Every structure is written in C-alpha cells, then in structure tokens.
Amino acid sequence: MGVRQIASGRWRLQIRKQSLKVDEVFDTKEAALEAEARLLATRKQDPGKMKLSQLWAEYLDSDMFEVKAPKTQSTELGRIKPVLEKFGDCAIEELAANVKLVKEYKRERQKTISPRTKKKMSNTSVRLEMAAYSAVIEFAVEEDYLDVNFVNQVKRPPKGERKRRVSQEEQGNLAIFARNSDPAVAQAARFQLIIRHLGCRPGELRDLRVRDVAVLRREVTFWDTKNGTDRRAHATEEALTMIQLQLDSLPEDSPYLFPTWSPYKNKKCWVPYVYANGVKLLRRLGVVLPDYHAHAGRREFVSRAIEGNVPHMTIKKQTGHKSTQALEIYDRGLSTAPTIRAELDRLAADVKDEGLLGALRALGLTPEQERKLAAMQGKDMTGSQSWVALQGVDGSFTDPFNK
C-alpha cells in the first residue's frame, strides 16, 4: 500500500483495506499523495457518516463517473448543485433513513421559480436533479456504503410529452432560409431540415464530423450514439441537398459539418454547433413558430414513415431507436394519413361485403349461389376462409343468377 513511481515515470497509488481498495495512476507524486490523504481521511469515519458532499467528491474520482458520456457528466455536474446545497452536509446514512426528505425535495423544487426563465421549474429539470442525486447514491451502493438506493424509492416527475411535428409551412420556410445570404440563418435552417430528412437526433447531427459524411454513398455515420452503438444512416435526396449546401459553405479548417466558433482564449477553435441558438434565431425571424423545438424534425420523420406504412424495423435502423417498441410514442393521431385512409377503406369494404353475405345467408343463400356471387365480385374462393367453407346453409333462396 502506498505511493510509488512506475516505469513510465508516473505515480501509482495502491490501497488495500477491507473497506477501501484503490489502484490508480497519477501524473505527479503530489497528486497521488493528495488522493491518498483524501481517501484515507474519508475512511477514518464510518462510511455511513460520510457527508453527501464527500461522497460526491469520491464519485467524481471513480470509474463509474469516468465511463459516462461527456454530456451525461456535464448534466450531472450542473444538476447536482441544488442537491448539494440542500443535503451536502448531511450524512448519507441519515438521508437513507429518511426517504421523506427526497419527496419533500421534489415537491419543493417543483414549486421553485427558476431565476433564468422566471417560471416554475419544469418536470424535466427536477427529474434531472433527482437523477444526479440517484447517481451518487448508486455509487454508494456499489461501494457497499449503503444497502439500497433510497432515491429510487421516490417516483420522479413524469417527462413532458412532446407531440410537436413540423408543418408544411415551416418546412417550406426552412427550405427558403436554408439558402439565405446570412450564414447563421442558413446554417440554422439546414440543421433543422437535415434532422427532418434523416430522422436523426439533434445531438447526433451536432457532433457529426465532415469525415463521416459520404456524399457518393449517400450516407452519414453517427458514432457512439445514445444507445451506445454506431449507426450509418441513409441520406435521402433532400437531406443530401442540404448536406452539400452546408459542405460548400464550411470554413476549411472546421472538422464539424455544423460548427460553432469558440472565442475563448484557452479554446479558440471550432466546436460542435450550439443548435439551441439556431432554433431561437429561426423563431425570432418567424421561420418557425414559437413552440418549435429541434426534436420536432425527428418526430416528423418517424411519424411520416409510420403513416407511409414503412416497416418499423426499417425506421428503427435509420433513426437508431433502441427497439421498435420505442417507436410507439410516435404512433398516434395518424389515422388520417392517405395510405392509412386507403387501408381503412379497404377494410371497411371487406366488412361491408361480409355483412351483405351474412344477410343473404340468413335469407337462405345456397353454396352454388354463393360461388356465383363470389365469381361476380372477383373473390378468391380458395382456401379455408372461402364463403362456402365458412357455412353450409341448405337454403331455399331463389337463385338470382338463373335467368
């Protein structure tokens, strides 16, 4: 146990205790010693007596936090702040013994007025705070400091259901402004249209690099997506047109298809597109309505695909949904689509024919008469589902075909 230098010149910290096992490498001896002192000081007390703020600091140094996606890490770092302000000085065993505190926190935050929006905190914001709280407690369970994740015993606020799609007028406006002389406006419009025609997530398009766009093969590759997989998506003609317009207008040194210039002194470079600002710009110009959001294009793509009877598995492969069941949230209010209307009309026609047949049978239609009626209507009389096979009426109905 202790700190020692290894062949690479870096410093290894090893601790082997019943309640503390550490094997980490640091760039400097000072960093290794500092980590050792911090970890050993924490273990001098009963793990249950550890404050939530101390647990959070340990969680940040753990592999559990390190392996999370950068966006998840950033979200947790921001959302944990009000939780630590409220419970940071509380011992984790004290919090675990009083789950009611989590419920009270949820209710309190739902009534809080956001200093940024001047409105009540949204369910999404409160849910993300509770998710960050749950993440650090889950770490405590993994480290055997606690037996259960008590935060998960409290139901989180429901997600706000989004049904927003993209109207024809908005699509038309976006197509016009995609060729605007103002580069910022044109880029914002193209971004939204590509989402509409690819069905990708806004975050996937934001991070898309130029090298992952294959114009000749008409495909783009999204790496390490939300579900932890890589995906190649087909670029339709309209998507390809927007992609080509964007490529033609890109600065030569931008690695991203949609870039934003970072002016900060320590980071003057191109970074992934801040698409939220693009949406605000389009709203301000009246290109889209005030309730438009970047995900609307993805919803429009999936909804139109379902309306067009595209197989769910095909949609899933293009959009990267985890399962075909995940598409069900889009499958509502679509019964007036032309292709679905046609299917429903065809079904209604079959039902009408079946009703007529039932009435004629009730009047004594004979098997021979039934065959003749089917022949006149062009019905296929083969198989177990034929009209004759479905009944054996020996009726006395006058044959209308005997002239």
**Partner residues linked to 51 by β-bridges:** 91
| Distance (Å) of CA 77 to CA 70, 135, 139, 191, 210 | 10, 11, 15, 28, 30
Q: Please state which of the ranges 39-43, 193-197, 271-275, 314-318 shows the lowest mean pLDDT.
A: 39-43
- Kindly state the tokens that stand for 272: 């992934």
Mean pLDDT for 221-227 is 89
The answer to whether the CB of 186 falls within 8 A of the CB of 178 is yes
**CA distances in angstroms from 316 to 71, 196, 309, listed in the order given:** 23, 15, 13
Q: How far apart are CA 127 and CA 121, in angstroms?
A: 10
Reported residue count of the chain is 403
pLDDT of 335-385, one tens digit each?
556 666 676 677 777 777 777 777 777 878 788 877 877 777 665 444 334
Burial-class residue 329 by CB neighbours within 10 Å (0-12, 13-18, 19+).
middle
pLDDT tens-digit series, residues 260-273: 988 775 678 898 99
Sequence ranges of the domains in the chain? 1-42, 45-160, 168-330, 338-390
| Topology agreement, domain 45-160 and domain 168-330 | no
Rounded Cα distance, 290 and 380, in Å:
54
Q: How much is the average pLDDT of 96-105?
A: 92
DSSP conformation letters of 115-132: TTTSSBPPHHHHHHHHHH
* CATH T-level fold of 45-160: DNA polymerase; domain 1 (1.10.150)
Out of 1.10.443.10, 3.40.50.300, 3.40.1380.10, 3.40.50.720, the CATH code matching 168-330 is 1.10.443.10
